[in-house]
Each structure stands twice: as C-alpha cells, then as structure tokens.
Amino acid sequence: MCGIIGCFKKEGCYDTLLTLLHRLEYRGYDSAGIAVLSSGRKTLTVRKRKGGVSGIEGRRIAGETGIGHTRWATHGAPSDRNAHPHVCGKFALVHNGIIENYLSLKEELVRGGAEVASDTDSEVIVRLIEKVYTGDFFAAVAAACKRLQGSYAIAVLCKDAPGEIVCAKYKSPLVAGASDDALYVCSDIPALCGEAEYICTANDGEFIRIKDSKIVFCDEDGAEISKVFERVSPVLRAEKPQQGSFMEQEIREIPRALAETYVGLKGLDFAVCARELRQTKRLFAVACGTAYHAALAFKDAVERDSKIPVLCHTASEFRYRKPLVCQGDVVVAVSQSGETADTLEAVRLAKNCGAYVIAVTNIEHSSITGLADFSIVMRAGPEIAVAATKSYNCQLLCLYYLAAQLYFYKNAQMPAYYSQLCLLPEAARAAFDTFIPMRILAEKCKSARGMYFLGRDRDVRTAAEGALKVKEIAYVFAEGYAAGELKHGTIALIEEGFPVIMIATNSALTGKCENALEEVRARGAYTVLFTQDEGAMSKSCADFKCLLPSVCEELMPVISVIPLQYFACRMCIERGYDPDKPRNLAKSVTVE
C-alpha cells in the first residue's frame, strides 16, 4: 500500500525524491517523509510529517543518497511520530508491507532496553538492524530480515555507508531502475517511468544494493544474482491534468485506452495457451474489488457462450477456503497493478495445485506477470486516481476477448459479439453525452444517505461497480443488487426520496426491471433508469432517465458503467471531496 523510493544521484537526490514521492502518493497519503545522507559530512537528515508529500517540501537537503516514503497506515494512526523514515542510531528505514510478528519482536527489543518511538510495525525492523550491526551494513539488514514474518519491501541507509542503499523484498513489490545520472529502487514501476530508462524487478528473498554507483542484486549471503534490466517506456508516466482531477481525466481517456488495448489484444498470440483452453472443463477467476466485478462479467460471458462453469472467488478468501483447484484447471487472475497481495497469493496457490494461470493486468513487468503462465497486458495507461475507471473498462475488454478465444478453441468459430469489440472505443466516446445529465443527477442525489443500484443478468455486475464507486469516493452508503432480490429484505430500507438506480440493457428483462422500479417508486423512492432501449425509456415510470449508446447487449457492461463512473466522480465533487484521494484507500493493495 505504501510507496517507497530510494535514489542515488551524484548531484543531489532531494528534488528527485520529492518528484517520485508525488507520483507514488496514490499508494498512500496519510504521512510522508524523506531521509538524505550526505557523503561529505556523513550526516543523515530526516524530514517527515503527517499529511501529503507537499508537507515535507522546503529548503533543499544536500546529499547524494536518499530514501522516501508515502504512507497508508496499517499499524498506528497517521501522525508525525508514525511517519517514515524510522531512524535508530546510524540507520534510517522505509517499509511497505506488514510485519506479522512485530509484537513479539517489539517486546524483545523493549526488554533489551529499546525505547520505541512509534506505534508502527516498521520501527522494529530498523531497531533489529541497529541491534545486530557490527560494521557490516548488508549483513545487519540480512540478519534482521531473517527474523521477520509477513511481507516487506524495505530501503535502508546507514551513516557509515554514504552512497549506499540496502533493500530487501518479500511479498511486497520492489523494482530497481537506472538512468544516465541516477540509480533507483521503488515500490512502483509507473513512478519510475520518465526517470529510469531501465528497470529490473526483485523476486522474493532477493536483496538490492546500490553501492559504488552500481545496482547489484544478491541473496541473503551477499552472493550476486544475475539479472536482466529491461527498457521501460516513458509513456507509462502520467502528467497532472491542467484542470480537474486525475479521475475525470482518466474517464475521458477510456476511448483511447480501449482502442489501444484492442490493438494489443489483436497482436497477442493466444495459441500459446490454446491447449489449456481447449481441454479445460472448468475455470476459476480470482480478483479483488473492481477487478472482481470484471471477473464476474467474464463468468457470465463464458458460461453463456461456452457452457463451461467459471468459479469466481474474491482473492482474499480464495486460499483460505481450500479451493478445489487441480491439474487441468485454468485460473484467470485479474489485477490492475499486478501487485495485489491477495491476488498474488491466490495465483501462487493455484500454481502449486497444478493449474494453468492467465493474468490480466495493466503493468507488464509486475509480480503477477512473473508468476503467470500467460499474461494479457492491457494498455489502459497509468491510472493515478485511487478509484479504478478506465482500467475496469479495459479489463472487461480483455476478459471478453479471452472468453471469445476460449469459445473459438472449443467450437472452431468466434462468438457473435467478437466482431463488435472494435466498436467499443467509439461507443465509449458516445457515452460522454451522458455527462451533463450525470452532473444534474449528482446534484439531485448529493444529500442522499444511501442508494441502491439494481440490474438483472449482466447488469448486476455494472450495478455493483457503480455502487462501489459511490462508496469509494463520495462516502455514501450504496449497494448493487440483483433487481429480483428487492423483495427479499432490501426493499425495507426504501423511504421517501431514496435513490434507486436501475441499469437495464438486456431487452428480454426490461419489463422485469420496470416492475422493480414501480415497486420502489410506490414506496417513495427517487427512481433512475439507464438503458439503450429508447422504447423502454419512453414507457418507464422512472423519475430520471438516461439513454445509453448502443452496442450488442453482451458488451454493454463496458459502456453502461461509464456514466456511473462519472456520476460517482461528480457526487464526490458536489460533496466537497477529492476524487483522486479517497480517505482510507490506496491504489495498489500490497498487504492483506
């Protein structure tokens, strides 16, 4: 969740650290800090405080080597004392992850006379390093890591070793980067784009040393590990919009993202996984949050057309339910960042059970692509706003394309919707016509204490995603339900003015959807209808109606969600909040 950065730059690293921390801020913005080590004076200067990265800006700190951190709190409330870097003796440390045995380690350190200065789990790491240090910087870090249980990506400075950063990685992402004038370590590949020309990701149990103007990967004994650096594209870098929020900008990028993702899919050789797709008798899909809604849409498409069962699991529960995964099964893992901790653990379990894993992600050199047997890398581009928008639309496109490939290898022909996948970018652009009505609807609903999003069949997935967006950034209780479930408890909460939003894109079920609207309207609800069917809209009892652009019904979830994404964004703004930085959330969920 947290963002960590390390930098060695001969002409000074301070400005670079701040720039990269600003790019990492979507990983957490509870507090921020930097530590800079000057080789000339061997001074370690630390600046940290509660709040965003802008709070630590100030007079430039001299020094060639530095580390930085932007925090999403796990242990200890957001505060100056809990902010990273944590310092003990000659050492400063930043950490992303969770140390599960920190309480026992903390008790041991306190018994030994340590005066713990924060409420975090991270502080125990730097205190362990200081405790075992006898002059060998790397050996002290490696020895401390042997005591840790949980997940971590750490970057450490030592006053005795100017120009050196020692890093370690276990179940939290860590990447090294290099350019002509600087060396980096970072928890996030997109943050390095535009700074580093070459990158290389660390595997679990590996260490990274920046020393003598070089980057070296090594094992816990210090033995060098041969690694290959790859050139990274600067296009992954996101520029701050001239006006408005990142979320608004990213919604407007959906047509471009879909078009580029479609081109990428057309160039992908699915024959590599043809045998697995042809022979499989069932599939699993694992994901979290928004990506889980995309996985459910994939389930709908595969079961409808290929008649193969797809067992969808939230990744956070998958490995604890002892799933019946075995040799011959295909597991589809969906993660925007490719670093979602729960999804990665689900993938590891699936592979241990002999399953074939297909990853759908937005980051090519991510942890999940390193684990998967086959990867579908969408081209949504960088997504900075914490709430996913364009990445969800691209996930749907990738998953529908995968479902079509599965159908082809089973039936020697493509499903009917395949020919219309190319029409999605233009339909998405047409959906922008709904934005003015969405502004009006957001203004009408901004004082609501709660709302329902309803749908039937594939529209249930869109309803769930629309509700999630409102919860995430507007802080209004919202739930997505199957419309037929209203009478089984849900309708009890309907009262005068309660917004009920119906997504009805399945022509065979529009009558059923209209019945549900009639039922809640009779009880005082403020009813809203989204449909591409002009006839159904003209006959509807809904108080507010929105006409959607039309593509074939199987693909409507890619398009029908766009006005809901924008509605949530406008609700957030109407209520006075920042859509890019919702409270308590972070973009890349790298801890359980």
Active-site hit among 9, 106, 471, 587: 587
Which residues partner with 65 through β-bridges?
A: 8, 37
Q: How far apart are CA 517 and CA 520, in angstroms?
A: 5
C-alpha pair distances (Å), 328 with each of 284, 295, 301, 371 = 11, 20, 21, 17
Active site includes 587? yes
Q: How far apart are CA 342 and CA 310, in angstroms?
A: 19
Three-state SS across 321-390? CCCCCCCCCEEEEEECCCCCHHHHHHHHHHHHCCCEEEEEECCCCCHHHHHCCEEEECCCCCCCCCCCCH
CB 215 within 8 A of CB 232: no
Which residues partner with 359 through β-bridges?
A: 333, 375
DSSP per-residue string spanning 199-255: EEEPPTT-EEEEETTEEEEE-TT--B-----EE--GGGPPPPPSSS-HHHHHHHTHH
C-alpha pair distances (Å), 336 with each of 73, 121, 229, 368, 398 = 22, 27, 23, 10, 12
Q: How far apart are CA 500 and CA 327, in angstroms?
A: 45
Active-site hit among 2, 288, 513, 546: 2
Q: How far apart are CA 552 and CA 561, in angstroms?
A: 15
Active site includes 186? no
Per DSSP, the three-state class of 318 is helix
The pair phi, psi for residue 28, each rounded to 5°, is 155, 140
Residue type at position 349: L
Residue type at position 309: P
Of 520, 551, 515, which Cα lies nearest the Cα of 533? 551
Q: How far apart are CA 247 and CA 84, in angstroms?
A: 28
C-alpha torsion angle, residues 217, 219, 224, 226 (rounded to 10): -60
Q: Which residues are catalytic?
A: 2, 587
